Structure 1
């Protein structure tokens, strides 16, 4: 009897667990669209002078605000909890929109991150506070920017520039607080994995799976 129990635990349970989790993954519902087709950046300048676009990229989008240097801990949280896991994925980018005049502050932060991070997928674009507030308004979110044209929240956009999140009333989630490492490690990481799985599944279905995702 004991032998049968041991065999069951060693061989049957792992198979049952695998089938359970495999079914769970394949049964994932897509992360809902909160705001469809948000605007791209146009001619806004980036820190390195290169054009930054939301097209054909899974984007983590944030608004740094004029006090970005004071709140640099939020960026470090995001960098450690999310960016470090996925910065090697070529289809993923992290973009922060910041007010003109904060370029030196951003460079200081990037220099600090550069000591332990590959910054290839980090981008910063700059615009006037009026342009930033207008851009955020078209996202049609419940959360608002503060008086410095910033927010600790970051948002997930898919390759078609749709802002994704959770739409259920009891579990509504349009953005993820970089002030909270726990929220980044739990809610955001879970939702980010769902987005990545969507694209992986689509690539496999089309027999085009790549190492980018």
Structure 2
């Protein structure tokens, strides 16, 4: 066997093994190698005028911050550091937050605080100006046990898949077998212990589905 043949086999081996290692890495959470359970398959699509922002065909971290942006800096920093910076470069991944339409000034301040230091690329942070009735109606479409606070905000964020389905856990070990619908953005511990794992799983799920689809097309 000559040197060129050896090099070709090494390259082919890397091309085969590397995607597998990537998948194993992203599926290494609590939900090992399983799809993230669907808890609701009828999440309402966004009705956003003059903005090309949709839940369909995206993997979305969805939140409802209503009129309380001045109190959301800690939650935003937690999500930005632990989730957004880690995953925002994946295709079709986005953050979407519904906020009171009168809070545009607070949105700008929040973005500035997120950019401090290394200057985070916030292109996939989306703030949707809305009224209280729309925020309430959209939140209700998730069909979770949570309720909005008086300012139409919630500390919880949710994983929505490309088909407008709420993903989570249907047997959460820390909740006596109850469903885990969303993640408390105030809790760094919950983000570290559960949310990072679940985002890894859903990204791995879609990456694997794409590889299978492409392989079938090549046959």
Instruction: Sort the TM-score into its range (normalised by shorter chain).
Output: 0.7 to 0.9
TM-score (norm: length of structure 2): 0.78
Higher RCO (CA < 8 A, seq sep 6+): 2
Moved runs in structure 1, 4+ residues, more than 2 A?
24-27
Question: What CA distance in whole angstroms lies between the structure 1 residues aligned with 2:104 and 2:162?
Answer: 27
Is there any run of 5+ residues in structure 1 with no aligned partner, and where? 1-17, 209-213
Residue pair 1:82, 1:185 contacting (<8 A) in 2 also:
no
Following superposition, the deviation at residue 187 of structure 1 comes to 0.5
Residue pair 1:60, 1:154 contacting (<8 A) in 2 also:
yes
SS of 1:63's equivalent in the other structure is strand
Q: How does 1:1-213 map to 2 (within 5 A)?
A: 28-44=33-49, 50-115=51-116, 116-168=119-171, 170-207=177-214
Across the aligned residues of Structure 1 and Structure 2, the Cα RMSD in angstroms comes to 2.3
Q: Deviations over 1:66-118 (max 9, x none)?
A: 11112211011100010000111121000001112111101110122123211
Deviates more, 1:64-73 or 1:153-162: 64-73
SS of 1:120's equivalent in the other structure is coil
Structure 2 match to 1:7: none
Q: 1:110 to 1:30 in 2, by over 3 A?
A: same
Residue-pair matches, total? 185
Following superposition, the deviation at residue 57 of structure 1 comes to 0.4
Q: Deviations over 1:29-80 (max 9, x none)?
A: 2111111131111135xxxx53211011000000112111122110111000
SS of 1:206's equivalent in the other structure is helix
Following superposition, the deviation at residue 27 of structure 1 comes to 6.3
Deviates more, 1:154-163 or 1:165-174: 165-174
Deviates more, 1:68-77 or 1:145-154: 68-77
